[in-house]
Amino acid sequence: MSTAGAVVVYGATGHTGRFVVAELRRRGLATIASGRNAAQLEALAAEWAEVEVRPATVDDPGSLDRALAGAVAVINTAGPFALTGGPVAEAALRAGIPYIDVAAELEANMSMFADHAEAARKAEVPVVPAMAFYGGLGDLLVTAAMGEWTAVDEVHVAYGLSSWHPTAGTRAAGEVSHERRGGRRVRFADGALQYHDDEVWEQDWEFPEPLGRRAVIAEFTMADVVTVPSHVDVREVRTYMAVEAAKDLAEESTPEPQSVDALGRSDQTFVVDVLVRAGGVERRATARGQDIYAVTAPLAVEAVQRVLAGRTRTTGVASAGAMFDAADFLRALAPYVTVELPR
């Protein structure tokens, strides 16, 4: 496969990166694998001979420039994104190509909007952070649920995961995020992000069948508190996590995900249930699928294809819901994701 018009995957040898490379290849898109570990990249090249390898490190801007040379876009899958997001995005802006990442780290997402918005706007280059299961999917569901509404009072995003076997990258990113906020928790209320030390608490959430009523950790804050308010006039955004999944994540002995099918997916299933309220009226949108890491690949690659085709609503730094036609994007994720949207 020629690398003309190729998409660079930075962090290609990681768990999510491999899913992204596979999805690009499945869609017939030329792919360049990049990242910090040259030996692992060479092993990947031996497995996928038509994928070009270009090692690069975030502390060497020249190596990033060489990795992106001649490419049409870059997908950053290498966490912690607090360390990689800025340098790779800056390299993309120097190259004049779209940047997409799969960061779930709140601080990395906030930094992308705060630090790169002006440069991306001036360059007229699309930059889409958090284009993943956490952040992108919820933001698309919220935007689709809102429909013609331009403002809402509340947004609630509940994650019903059958389990959560975190990758080493997820754990590393979580540690960096925890350190950057000094161990505090965060919520979006009264129209702003608020840091606090309140105790964790549980409540029940009525998920659509087959999950039904489940216990969730309330204010288990995810990237949605950054992505949604970036383009939605909203006073409160709350996110919730199934207790079983939260316990898996908290337990240090929980193993990494194990493949159970030909696509490399784990047996983890998920339901993301979104509720938006405005003036006493409620609307819901739901997504179902398998393996939160695997489903990130079609989300990121669909975003790349739409950006390259000009199927976007803005430029510069923007979340998924602001950048794309949310309902149309969600429907395009079949068969990986099944969605139910308001009629």
pLDDT in tens, 238-297: 999 999 999 999 999 999 999 999 999 999 999 999 999 999 999 999 999 999 999 999
3-class SS at 276?
A: strand
Q: Which residues of 43-79 are buried (b: 16+ CB within 10 A; e: fewer)?
A: ebeeebeebbbbbbbbeeeebbeebbeebbbbbbbbb
pLDDT at 3 over 90: no
**DSSP sequence for 191-210:** TEEEEE-PPPEEEEEEPPTT
Which residues have CB under 8 Å from 99's CB, separation 6+? Answer: 73, 74, 76, 88, 89, 92, 93, 120, 125, 126, 127, 128
Model confidence, pTM: 0.96
Which residues have CB under 8 Å from 201's CB, separation 6+? Answer: 217, 218, 219
pLDDT at 48 over 90: no
pLDDT of residue 1: 46
Backbone angles phi and psi of 215, in degrees to 5: -75, 135
pLDDT at 2 over 70: no
Which residues have CB under 8 Å from 323's CB, separation 6+? Answer: 126, 128, 303, 307, 312, 313, 314
Measure Cα distances from 121 to 11, 187, 304, 317 in Å: 26, 28, 18, 7
What does the pLDDT look like over 167-180, one tens digit per residue?
A: 999 999 888 888 88
What does the pLDDT look like over 221-245, one tens digit per residue?
A: 999 999 999 999 999 999 999 999 9
Provide Rg for the chain, Cα atoms.
19
Backbone angles phi and psi of 118, in degrees to 5: -65, -45
Measure Cα distances from 261 to 80, 147, 234, 265 in Å: 28, 36, 40, 6
User: What's the CA gap between 306 and 112, in Å, rounded?
Assistant: 21
User: What's the CA gap between 319 and 65, in Å, rounded?
Assistant: 25
pLDDT band of residue 4 (cuts 50, 70, 90) is low
Query: Across all residues in the chain, what is the average pLDDT?
Result: 95
Q: Which of 46, 115, 104 is nearest to 222 (CA)?
A: 104
